[in-house]
């Protein structure tokens, strides 16, 4: 049921509460009496020129008769429908007026609408809480992962430091080994005399590859 149908249904119930079927029947009876009075006036027109009842009220009377007939049929259908609805809800139409019955239906309808709105509000609140809990769990997992990474980071740095130190020692050992091998391939062929007799003097050592 669309919003417009629900709105029109509520309006119809509110109108039924305010105007009982008995009041509609009374009002229609008064309209019938008025229509008969107009019809009597038209039929009673005289031959005098100034008597213009038929000219003035003929079209109006015809339209009134059509509308009275239409409303009479609608009222008959409404009374029949009221009896059927009362029987459906196990009510006696003789003991319950239409306005009071419509009041019960309207109250029940309003309770259903309020219950539906409350249920929708609860569902929205629960959905929001689920999203918040999901976000909270996600943040906790992220924080746990970050903490784990922070705890693992020093260990990784220590491992990297050890690897670099081992590589440095290995490179140094390789270099020293190469220097020793190079020294083994050299032989001393000449040593020059000191430059002068002083605290500081220089001599030249000449090496040759074997």
The tens digit of pLDDT for each residue in 128-170 reads: 999 999 998 888 888 888 777 766 666 677 777 778 877 777 8
Per the model's pLDDT, the better-predicted residue between 208 and 108 turns out to be 108
CB 14 within 8 A of CB 106: yes
Collapsed DSSP state (helix, strand, coil) of residue 192: coil
Mean residue pLDDT across the chain: 80
Mean pLDDT of 27-42: 92
Mean pLDDT of 1-30: 77
Specify the pLDDT at position 3: 43
Q: Is pLDDT of 184 > 60?
A: no
pLDDT digits (tens, 9 = 90+) for 49-83: 888 888 888 899 999 999 999 999 999 999 999 99
Cα gap 91→81, rounded to integer Å: 13
Facing residues of 87 across strands?
A: none
Cα distances (Å, whole numbers) of residue 34 to 21, 78, 181: 20, 23, 138
pLDDT-above-70 percentage for the chain: 74
Nearest to 71 by CA among 37, 21, 15: 21
**For residue 171, what is the DSSP state?**
H
CB 22 within 8 A of CB 45: no
User: 0.85 exceeded by the pTM?
Assistant: no
Q: Is pLDDT of 180 > 80?
A: no
């Amino acid at each position: 049921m669309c919003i417009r149908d629900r709105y029109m249904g509520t309006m119809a119930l509110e109108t039924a509460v305010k105007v009982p079927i008995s009041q509609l029947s009374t009002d229609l009876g008064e309209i019938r009496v008025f229509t008969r009075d107009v019809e009597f006036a038209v039929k009673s027109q005289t031959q005098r020129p100034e008597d213009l009842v038929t000219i003035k009220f003929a079209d109006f009377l015809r339209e009134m008769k059509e509308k009275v007939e239409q409303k009479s049929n609608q009222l008959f259908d409404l009374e029949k429908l009221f009896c059927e609805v009362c029987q459906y809800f196990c009510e006696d139409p003789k003991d319950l007026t239409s306005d009071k019955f419509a009041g019960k239906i309207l109250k029940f309808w309003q309770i259903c609408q309020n219950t539906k709105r409350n249920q929708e509000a609860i569902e929205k609140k629960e959905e929001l809480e689920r999203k918040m809990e999901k976000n909270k769990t996600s943040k906790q997992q992220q924080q746990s992962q970050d903490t784990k990474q922070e705890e693992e980071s020093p260990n990784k740095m220590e491992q990297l430091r050890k690897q670099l130190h081992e590589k440095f020692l290995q490179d140094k050992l390789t270099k020293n080994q190469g220097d020793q091998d190079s020294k083994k391939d050299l032989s001393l062929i000449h040593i020059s005399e000191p430059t002068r007799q002083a605290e500081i003097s220089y001599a030249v050592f000449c090496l040759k590859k074997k």
